Amino acid sequence: MGKVLFHIDLNAFFASAELLLDPSLKGKPIAISGLSKRSVVATASYEARQFGVHSAMPIREALSLCPQLIVVKGHHDFYEELSDQFIRYVKRYTSQVEKASIDECYADMSEAIRQFRRPLDLAWQLQQELSADLHLKCSIGVAPNKFLAKMASDMKKPMGITVLRKQEVPVKLWPLPIEEMRGIGKKTAPLMREKGILTIGDLAHITQPEILQPILGKNAAIFIRRARGEDDRELVCESDVKSMSQSTTLNYDFSSDEEVRVLFRRLADRLSRRLMEEDKQGTLASVSIRYDDFDTHVRSRKLPQPIFRADDLFEIAMELFDENYEDRPLRHLGISLSDLSGIHEQRQQMNLFDTPVQEATGELIERLNRQLEQGGHLTTAGCLAQSRRK
DNA sequence: TCTGGGGTCCTAGGACCC
DNA sequence: TCTGGGGTCCTAGGACCC
């Protein structure tokens, strides 16, 4: 029997979270964003969406569409906390949960649904519990793989439950326009249309992936398989973050040396705090520099040793900035660290070898010599293990 | 009315080594 | 006095997603 995967997507998550903090906002058009004049909408409530307000829209544009819009500054720490509670709720039914982002997850419910008379009863119960206990509305997609589950949860919002079986793909998926496909964005969609691919069905019927290679790269064949409803990706249950960054857009374009230092100092402090919270350090440091014309440069450097301290982050950021800054007005600065590893992991590995090198090698050579004299076959790894056990 | 912030993944060129 | 091909690492840029 095939798998039963759920994709659970919290509807207007930030807006729901704000309602918990301030119930008087209920039923009103609200948008969560920063408060500067350069902010964009992170999430709009459904009331605001009726006016055409949507994510990534500049606040000023949103206000012109909906003058009574209430703009709320986000409370990200609270969202993180609420998101963790959401994941804990899902984990009551299965340990196989992949957190895909702050407001969505995949869950393998193949086992859990057996406890229910009908598979959909589980989806319905989970949806009701999240709504009653956490005041979070969600849409659930039920399907045999991740791609179909994700597409299914998108089909009915808010509070929808959509089942998408493999055999329903031609009817439910293929008529959708190509830009509805995950991974086909506003740059790629026009290129696909030029090739005559207007719908997901058109993509599914491509027999020669090579013709899409220039557009989709090495993923061409994978996209075609997805369009046919095939996807064998496993759930990734431990969220293993690959990079962490901290950036900010300035209220006004500026470029004073002192201000840049102060800003990088603040970004380095915040990034360092987050890295330590997650027990992460990294060896690839980058700065992003965006000028007033939106021209953006990212400059990075591979470091010989992993770093996580604020002073180290600040120092490398200033170096990269000074080496690359083109002396024109700035609008955005950021620091990012990737190639991450665990701070503690690293410490433990070092502990294994923290016998001074000369001592260790001296002892190793001695031991190997003895073994040679005796005609034995002790490997260097075996010697190391023995010397550590002592 | 211009265009946030935090991520992931892919491509491509050049350096460098064998 | 010029020349190969493969592999890996580093760096820059960009598409896409939430």
Q: Provide the residue-wise pLDDT of chain A in tens; the chain has 390 residues.
A: 689 999 999 999 999 999 999 999 999 999 999 888 899 999 999 999 999 999 999 999 999 999 999 999 999 999 999 999 999 999 999 999 999 999 999 999 999 999 999 879 999 999 999 999 999 999 999 999 999 999 999 999 999 999 999 999 999 999 999 999 999 999 999 999 999 999 999 999 999 999 999 999 989 999 999 999 999 999 988 878 999 999 999 988 877 899 999 999 999 999 999 999 999 999 999 999 999 999 999 999 999 999 999 999 999 999 999 999 999 999 999 999 999 999 887 666 655 544 444 344 344 434 434 433 443 333 333 333 333 332
Nearest nt to the CA of A283 via C1' is C10
Q: From the CA of A259, how many Å to the C1' of C4?
A: 53
A47 in active site: no
Catalytic residue, candidates A104, A168, A345, A366? A104
Question: Going by C-beta distance under 8 Å and a sequence separation of 6 or more, which residues neighbour residue A8?
Answer: A90, A104, A105, A106, A107, A126, A138, A139, A140, A153
Of A residues 136-175, those with CB within 7 angstroms of nucleic strand C are: 150
Of A residues 275-294, those with CB within 7 angstroms of nucleic strand C are: 284, 286
Q: Which residues touch strand B (CB under 7 A)?
A: A 34, 37-40, 42, 55-56, 58, 60-61, 63-65, 101, 217-219, 241-249, 274, 293-294, 331-332, 334, 336, 338
| A233 CB neighbour count, 10 Å cutoff | 12
Cβ of residue A299 lies below 7 Å from strand C: yes
A221 CA to centre of own chain:
24
Cβ of residue A185 lies below 7 Å from strand C: yes
The pTM of the whole model exceeds 0.75: yes
| A30 CB neighbour count, 10 Å cutoff | 26
Element (H, E) at A120: helix A119-134
Contact present, A34 and A74 (Cβ < 8 Å): yes
DSSP A23: G
E strands of A5-111, at which residues? 5-10, 30-33, 43-44, 70-73, 97-101, 104-108
